[in-house]
Structure 1
Amino acid sequence: MRRSRVSWNVVVPLVALVMLALTWGAVPGPALAGIEAVVLIGAVLAAVHHAEVVAHRVGEPFGSLVLAAAVTVIELALIVELMASGGTGAETLARDTAFAALMICTNGIAGLSLLLGSHRYGETLFNPRGSGAALATLITLATLSLVLPTFTTSHRGPEFSPGQLEFAAVASLLLYLLFVFTQTVRHRDFFLPVAQKGQQGLVEDEIHADPPSNAQALRSLGLLMAALVAVVGLAEQESPAVEKLVSAAGFPHSFVGVVIASLVLLPETLAAGRAARQGRIQTSLNLAYGSAMASIGLTIPGIALASIWLRGPLILGLGPTQLVLFAATVVISMLTVVPGRATRLQGEVHLVLLAAYVFLTIIP
């Protein structure tokens, strides 16, 4: 039974990579798009499994950091490639992707985790010092990179001047690295799971299960990378089919970015939901805020570097509707994190805010 499960998690990422290699650059028909969607879901499930193996070996918060950083680096490569190819919406692709990741992580992943945890434990408990530090860093990153371009005057439109873009890129990368140092070295205990009411510590299987060997962890790390490459690549392969569906439904083109971002963030979503059901709410919040932070802290410097050879404008400033949703997310997230405990209501509020974002993307 165990051999079959392990074999499945090994085979699926490799099959997904092979399918990605064979179909890359082709416009899939309905049948091929359906097969790719099934393989993509399998790759997501395999990625979650291998991420949990790596996390079990290295411990928290390193496990959450590995998954968040890995997905973001691959996502950055995808954004640069799409921007280089040009096309509709290329100038706002980085902004739309980063903001979609921000809203999905802070309201979708965090809200779902709080809802699942509260359903089982009544009231979820986490460390406000760790989650508060992550949220403060995330708000600063988003403000520097996505809010300020709307109000600066050195360049026409919601764009940074070259010097401003350089400053934002360096500041974003520095802030992200400072947070990683705080999370993994200086105050690692702030980001460790907190026992829920009725628990005698961490979840039972986490206490008694022996960590995997170095060889198992390295194998899972390699398969995790393979699965994530397949997830992002197949998500991009699915984008023509998604664009057709979006156009047929009469939705704006920007909604395609929401769909693609949702597919790319599936591994973090499933991993955070499973951690929440096991009472590791802090791990879920580490994934939510860490993924959003990495999406901005690594994407903006990468885009700034790529802009040296990329042609065309780079619009990073948020629009009025996005600014209102961002402000609401900041206030609600602060009220959620500061007490160090949350009920089902907080999770539901975050999910409603995510629904508002998706609805207003469809009907701006």
Structure 2
Amino acid sequence: MSGFARSAVSYAMPLAALTVAIAVRASGLSVDQGSINMRILVGALSSAIMFTTIFVVLDHAEAVARRVGEPYGTLVLTIAVTAIEVSIIVSMMLHGENNPTLARESVFSTVMIASTGVVGVCLTFGGWRHRTQAIVRQGTSAYLAVLIALTVMTLVLPTFTQATGPGTFSAAQLGFVSVLSVLLYAGFLFAQTVRHRDDFIEGPTHGVSTRAAPHESILTGVLLLAIGLIGIVMLAEQVAASIEDALVTYQVTQADAIVGALIAGLVLMPESVSAVRAALNNELQRGLNVAMGSACATIGLTIPAVAAASLLTGRGLTLGIPAADTVLLVLALFISSVSFSNERTTFLTGLVHLVVFFTYVFLIFVP
């Protein structure tokens, strides 16, 4: 695609997503009205537009990130991804019958995909091209510490609490853990951007190019980013309805695990490309910042958001993951701790992460 065509698409898609979302709502095509075929058709169209817009929006986010520099740039990508994921999960929670485990599956999938899949590909491809790559151990350790604390508190602890049934928090426990998650993530952001900013910066870049148009200002990028995010959020309801309708129609088993993985994969795909590209350019720390930052933000921000939706609407929320998923999660976190205990990585380090990732994917379909 030529530079002019790519620039035209980058400007058109956010506006198209917002226009289509407004048109669908204004036309009265409710997700709960009309024939099943019409709802699936509208949902498929919304999905296609939303999928394309996600790539364009995150491309604008990456352009803004390049201009503002690290570590603020990584935060732009992370917040954009988290906003998209929260909108999709909450829309699917509020659509149709109560689905208490969807948020859990989506968050768990995001953590597994980011910490094993994306990190594994970054380490493998980057290590194969550059033999060894350096990381900033202090910053990576901070990511892991926050991720371990948030993950255990929100996905493992609910299985062992006694106030309610297994896998669930009481209202007081849910509110308490949500507030702690937000405070911990806010403290992490303060350390990343102010107090210990140098711990998350790798140093001079190595001939990195950017896909941003040279004439595009930060204000333009932020405006297009905001328009695209609003359009994606508005389209999320149609996408959520079409996914649920299709699963019901075709009687798909393991629906929650599959949908959770699809949501996480859809949202993380453009950001994963950014992380892998950074690793190939020998900017491994930036790639790790993107991948691990997504995992931390998913728990630190998404869990409180869906918890608030659950408390306000009275819909159940099950956060505790099953035993097999707990084993995989602990394995992924332990391997990450070992992988980043040194200040350099090789392709072998990445292969270990990928083995765990493929095991996670296999067990989705063969539990």
TM class by shorter chain equals 0.7 to 0.9
Distance in 2 (CA, whole Å) between partners of 1:336 and 1:78 is 32
1:17 is displaced (CA, Å) by 2.7
Q: Please name the residue that 1:118 is paired with.
A: 127
1:335 and 2:338 matched = yes
Distance in 1 (CA, whole Å) between partners of 2:336 and 2:168 is 27
1:87 and 2:88 matched = no
1:303 is displaced (CA, Å) by 2.6
Q: Do the aligned partners of 1:44 and 1:231 also contact (CA within 8 Å) in 2?
A: yes
Total equivalences in the alignment: 355
Q: Please name the residue that 1:58 is paired with.
A: 68
Distance in 1 (CA, whole Å) between partners of 2:67 and 2:250 is 47
Q: Do the aligned partners of 1:235 and 1:263 also contact (CA within 8 Å) in 2?
A: no
1:124 is displaced (CA, Å) by 2.1
Q: 1:210 to 1:317 in 2, by over 3 A?
A: closer
Q: Which moved more, 1:313-322 or 1:296-305?
A: 296-305
* AA partner of residue 44 (structure 1): I
1:195-226 per-position Cα deviation (integer Å, ceiling 9, x unaligned) = xxxxxx4122469x99968x711211122233
Q: Please name the residue that 1:198 is paired with.
A: none
Q: Please name the residue that 2:83 is paired with.
A: 73
Q: Please name the residue that 1:193 is paired with.
A: 202
Q: 1:30 to 1:94 in 2, by over 3 A?
A: closer
Q: Do the aligned partners of 2:88 and 2:236 also contact (CA within 8 Å) in 1?
A: no
Q: 1:277 to 1:357 in 2, by over 3 A?
A: same
Secondary structure of residue in 2 paired with 1:91: coil
1:157 and 2:174 matched = no
Q: 1:302 to 1:29 in 2, by over 3 A?
A: closer
Secondary structure of residue in 1 paired with 2:164: coil
User: Unaligned regions of 5+ residues in structure 1, if any?
Assistant: 195-200
1:250 is displaced (CA, Å) by 4.7
* AA partner of residue 180 (structure 1): L
Distance in 1 (CA, whole Å) between partners of 2:340 and 2:249 is 39
Distance in 2 (CA, whole Å) between partners of 1:111 and 1:229 is 32
1:335 is displaced (CA, Å) by 1.1
Q: Equivalent of 2:329, from 326, 331, 343?
A: 326
Q: 1:246 to 1:186 in 2, by over 3 A?
A: farther
User: Unaligned regions of 5+ residues in structure 2, if any?
Assistant: 32-36
Q: Equivalent of 2:254, from 252, 255, 260?
A: 252
Q: Which moved more, 1:76-85 or 1:30-39?
A: 30-39
Distance in 2 (CA, whole Å) between partners of 1:76 and 1:287 is 18
Secondary structure of residue in 2 paired with 1:298: helix
- 1:1-364 to structure 2, matched below 5 A, reads 2-23=3-24, 25-26=30-31, 36=46, 38-87=48-97, 90-194=99-203, 201-205=204-208, 216-231=217-232, 237-239=238-240, 242=243, 244=246, 248=250, 250-254=252-256, 255-364=258-367
1:253-303 per-position Cα deviation (integer Å, ceiling 9, x unaligned) = 121221122112222112112222222111111111111111111122223
Q: Please name the residue that 2:34 is paired with.
A: none
Root-mean-square deviation (CA, aligned residues, Å) is 2.8
- Normalising by structure 1, report the TM-score: 0.87
Distance in 2 (CA, whole Å) between partners of 1:259 and 1:78 is 11
Q: Do the aligned partners of 2:150 and 2:296 also contact (CA within 8 Å) in 1?
A: yes
Secondary structure of residue in 2 paired with 1:314: coil
Distance in 2 (CA, whole Å) between partners of 1:46 and 1:114 is 26
* AA partner of residue 254 (structure 2): P
Distance in 2 (CA, whole Å) between partners of 1:248 and 1:211 is 44
Q: Do the aligned partners of 2:62 and 2:76 also contact (CA within 8 Å) in 1?
A: no
* AA partner of residue 253 (structure 1): A
Q: Do the aligned partners of 1:48 and 1:270 also contact (CA within 8 Å) in 2?
A: no
- Normalising by structure 2, report the TM-score: 0.86
* AA partner of residue 266 (structure 1): M
Distance in 2 (CA, whole Å) between partners of 1:211 and 1:127 is 30
1:19-55 per-position Cα deviation (integer Å, ceiling 9, x unaligned) = 3334464566787666555534432332232122111
1:75 is displaced (CA, Å) by 2.3
Q: Which moved more, 1:20-29 or 1:264-273?
A: 20-29
1:245 is displaced (CA, Å) by 6.6
Q: Do the aligned partners of 2:13 and 2:53 also contact (CA within 8 Å) in 1?
A: yes
